[in-house]
Every structure is written in C-alpha cells, then in structure tokens.
A and B are shown apart, each in its own frame.
Chain A
Amino acid sequence: MNEVFDRSPSLDDLLPGPERESACGHLATLIDADMALLDAAGGVVWGALEPNAVRVPLVVELEPIGHLAAAVAVAKLQAAAAILREILLTRYRFLMTSRLHVESIAADYADLLEQHAALQASEARYKDLSAELEQRVATQVKLLDERQRQLYQAENLASLGRLAAGVAHEINNPIGYVRSNLASFANYLQRFAALKARLTDTAAAWQELDIDFLLRDGTELVAESIAGIDRVARIVGDLKGFSNVDRAEEEVVDLNDNLKQVVSVLQGQLPTGVSIDAEYGELPGVLCLPGHLNQVFVNVVRNAMQAIADSNRPGTVSIRTRPVDAGVEVSVSDTGVGMTPDQRERAFDPFYTTRDVGQGTGLGLTVARDIAHAHGGRIDIDSRFGFGTTVTMFLPT
C-alpha cells in the first residue's frame, strides 16, 4: 500500500540520496567550507562534521528534522539552511499532494466499484423483471388467442342461427301453401265421394258439384305443391352444402356453385330495398375447403348488405366472378355507406368494428382474410366513403 499522505516527514523522505548529494554539494560550495548534514538523531548523513562547527536546525513543520553544521559564521550557515528548507518544503508539498492524489483516486475507485456492484444488482433485477414480463405477455397472448377463437366460434354459431332463421322463413312459405293446397285437395276428394251417391243424375251432379273446376284447380294445386316441395328440397340441399363448415377435406370445386348457395341462403335475409345481382363467369376448379370459403363469402356479402341498409337508400350487391392469371377472382361490390380512410386502414384489425356493442364482433373480415391467406389467396378492399365498397378476392387454382 502507498504511504499515507499526512505522515510527518523525515529527512530521508524530503531529501533522498541523489538530491541530497547535489543540494548539499552546491551549498558547501556557496558557504565555501566543509559542511555536514545531520539527521534528527544527530547522525551525519552527508559531509564531514568539523569539531568547531556551528549547527543550524532545519524545521519544516514544528520540530527540526535535521541540522546543517559547518565551521562558518552563523549568519552564513543560516542562509544556507534557509535555502535548503525551501527545497525541503517544496518536496514536502509535492509528496503530500502526490500521495493524497493516490489516496483520493483509490477512494474514487472504491466508490466506482460500489456503484458498479449496485448497477449489477439493479441490472440483474431488471433481467428478472424482463423475463417475468415476457412470460406474462406470452400468457396474455395465449389467453387472447383463446378468447379470439371462442369469439370466432360464437360468431360461427350466430351465423348458423341467422342461417337457420332465413331457412325457416324460406321453408315456411312453400310449406304454408302446400298445407293449404292439401287441405283444399282433401275437400275436393270429399266432393268426389259425394259424386258417387249421385251418379244417377250424372250430368246434373257433375254440374252442381262443379267437378270441372275441381279437376282444373286440383291439377294446379298438385303442380303448385310439387313445385313447393321441390323448392324445399332445394333449400335443404343448399343448406346441407353450405353447413359443411367442419368438413376438413379439400376438394376441387366451382366457386360459382358456392356463391350460388350463399346467395340462396342470404336471399332470405335481404333487408328491404337491397337486391343481389350476380354475374358468374366460367371458372376453373379451385382446390379448397368449400365450407371455409362459404364462410368468407357469407361474411363479405352480408357486410355489403348491411352497408346498403345503413345508407338508408335502395341499392344492389353486385357479385362478379372471372378467371384470372393462375386463379379466380371474386368481387363483391355494394352501393352502401363506404368507409373512411381510417376505417379502411383498420378494417382487417381483429375486434375493430363500427357497429354498436353486441352488433358486430369485428372479426368478420379478419377471419375472411385469415381464410383467404390459408388458401394462398388475397383479399383487398377498395372503398369510397358515401359511395360504396368493393371487396376483391383472389384464390389460386
């Protein structure tokens, strides 16, 4: 360890060998006599002590740290001692400052080490925190994922519910008149039964029971009922094809057929003043999950219907299909409210909706895009606020 800066100085500290040699040599020359330098204990450390020499003390702080001795006039020796003392003082200051400097650097260094240790501890704490944070984010993301899937499922169920309502409405109509027709027909058959009892006056009875009308109207009723039953059968068939969402097998389909099913299903839910105009181009087969694509088409077409309903004016949803390079393109345009640039920007964001709480899930387009991407396709939106929106989907063959 270094010397402490505030140690009381000794002659050896302040005038080490080489300096002593040089300083004393010059001083002896100046006083022009044999001179001796004595340490605090009186021992000669330089020169030769003359028997009749006078002594002058060398005081740096309070006590003499040595003496100069020579056989000369005291005043002369005192002058020499004064010069030597200045040298000693200078050296003393230098020693104290340099040692203090070393000590203060050591103190500063110790401080730095302390700070460094504190920083390391703090860094470790932040590392732990960050690890914990990462884990919490992962947990939250997982939770959000689950919630989103649940919402998606709920949306699916809601779609199915609306679908069922539309189907019920559609089926009720033909069922209604088939039921009414059959009741009429049962009535007609009773009249035929009455005819048997009156076969004696055939012509009069024929006339009276209006059998001509029964034959005519009966034929009509049966034809109408057959048409009604056919319509029910078609709707049920559409529904069957449509509701195969969970069938996870890919197949090659003509997307026009899917769109026709979707249109037929949604026809029952058309708001007043909204019509659908479909133009199907001839399409190559597309390898896909038809149920999933139906979901996409339903979401997009229903959005279009709602956009028109929101505009409070009559309008048309135009569906167009056409073959394009390496795939097919399906576009759905409406003449509804359109989107602002900000709405357009966020349209695909999960849970983003412009509808009231409980009205929209904000997942329709998100899911549509996910499904389109899963098929290697694209979905794009072009919209003018106040004029309408066109959603264009591309699916590769």
Chain B
Amino acid sequence: MPELDGARLTFKLVYYGPAKSGKTTNLMRLHDLVAPQLKGELMTLDTQGDRTLFFDLLPMGFVAPSGLLIKFRVFTVPGQVAHDGTRKAVLSRADGVVFVADSQITEETNNAESFRNLSDNCARVGLDFDRLPLVVQFNKRDLSPILAEDEVRQRWTGVSWPLTFATALSGTGVAETVTLLLRALFRKFDQELELSSHHGIDEAAFVAGILP
C-alpha cells in the first residue's frame, strides 16, 4: 500500500530477478533515460564486484495538479540465492514489481527458481501475489542463444502479467517496462487514492509524470 503522508504519496517499486540478470543496469539506464520533474541520484549500496549486496535505490517524482507530490522509490534486490533475507526485507511493502529475467536459454532454471522465490517471498511478507502489479521483462536480448519472442510469449500464454523484451545495457525496453508497470500501478490504486477524481491525474498523466 502506497504511503500517504500529508501532501506526499510514495510508491515503492522493486526490481526482482535472478543474480546478474541486469536489475541494477535497468536502474542505471532508467536514471539516464527518464526526465521527471524530480529525480534523485541513483544510490548504490555496497557491491561486491558487480553484484549487489544490499540494494540500489533510485528516487523520482512529480507534483500532481492538486499539489500532491507523487514519489517513486525504485529498489533492486540482491539476486544471489544466499541473500534471501535481504531480498525479503527489500520486497516488503512493495507496491509494484518488475521481474527481470535473463533471456539466455542456459538461465532458464535460474529464472524459474527466482520467480518461484518471488512468489514465495510475497506470501511471506504479506503481499497478494495475484493482485500485485507485475511486469516480466526478458533482458539481454542481444545475447545468444535465446528463445525467440514468439516462443517466449507462447510459453507464457495465459498469464496476466505483461511481458517486455529489453537490452538494458543499451537502454532498449527499459522505459517500456516502467511504462507498463506505472499503468498497472495506476489501475490498481486510482480509485482507492482518488488519483483522477481528486488529484487530477489520469493514466497518461501518471506515466507522463515520469516519462514526459
């Protein structure tokens, strides 16, 4: 549930996924690509080599016509299996999740395990996985061997989550992923938080606040 504190509404977004699937890269490109009214620095908390040990944090936001400051705090989790406690703590209180999968065929098992871990941890930290705004991103499309997009879509037929394809290293698909998540987020919370009725933001404006 987003945190409403006076004239400030804060959403917590989490990039989840197996180790080295490109979660931090997504955030770095996001920082470069988006131009919201307010954008903080990308804060990287302690890494070991190029592996995230705690999390990364990118704050961004915009002000609604009503004067409400809408803030997004975007986190990444550490992907390595051993850091499950940290992963769980970062996932706590999340309002939306991007699952970053590694498109390489050799990573299929890791993707599946991490996705199951996401579902398990949602249950553990009290998130309703079925109603959670979630976007599944297949990253590293520039590598091979990978499954064709058609085949991936076929395999994921019947799931309710939108799928995106990205090469975060070059920035491809990064903005599209966030757009899809923002839309899902808006649809879920619009009524409850009176975003369109009281604060004068529709879905397009909600996305445009971050991606003008």
Contacts and interface: CB of A to CB of B under 8 A. Distances in A.
Interface of A: 4-6, 8, 61-63, 89, 93, 96-97, 100, 103-108, 110-111
Contacts of B46: 97
Contacts of B69: 62-63
Nearest to A110: B124
B56 to A, nearest CB: 11
A109 to B, nearest CB: 8
B38 A107 contact: no
A108 B89 CA distance: 10
A217 B39 CA distance: 145
A134 B43 CA distance: 62
11 contacts: A4-B93, A6-B75, A6-B90, A8-B5, A61-B59, A63-B69, A100-B89, A104-B88, A107-B84, A107-B124, A108-B84
A61 B73 CA distance: 9
A91 B212 CA distance: 33
By secondary structure, the A interface counts as: helix
B159 interface: no
A63 B40 CA distance: 9
A1 B138 CA distance: 38
Contacts of B73: 6, 8, 61
Interface size class of B (residues with CB under 8 A): 20 to 34
A160 B49 CA distance: 90
A338 B78 CA distance: 76
Given A61-B59, A108-B85, 5 more contacts: A4-B93, A100-B55, A104-B83, A108-B84, A111-B84
B59 A107 contact: no
A65 B88 CA distance: 29
B12 interface: yes
Contacts of A106: 85, 89
Interface in B34-77: 38-40, 43, 45-46, 54-55, 57, 59-61, 69, 71, 73, 75
Given A61-B40, A100-B86, A108-B85, A4 B92 contact: yes
Contacts of A105: 85
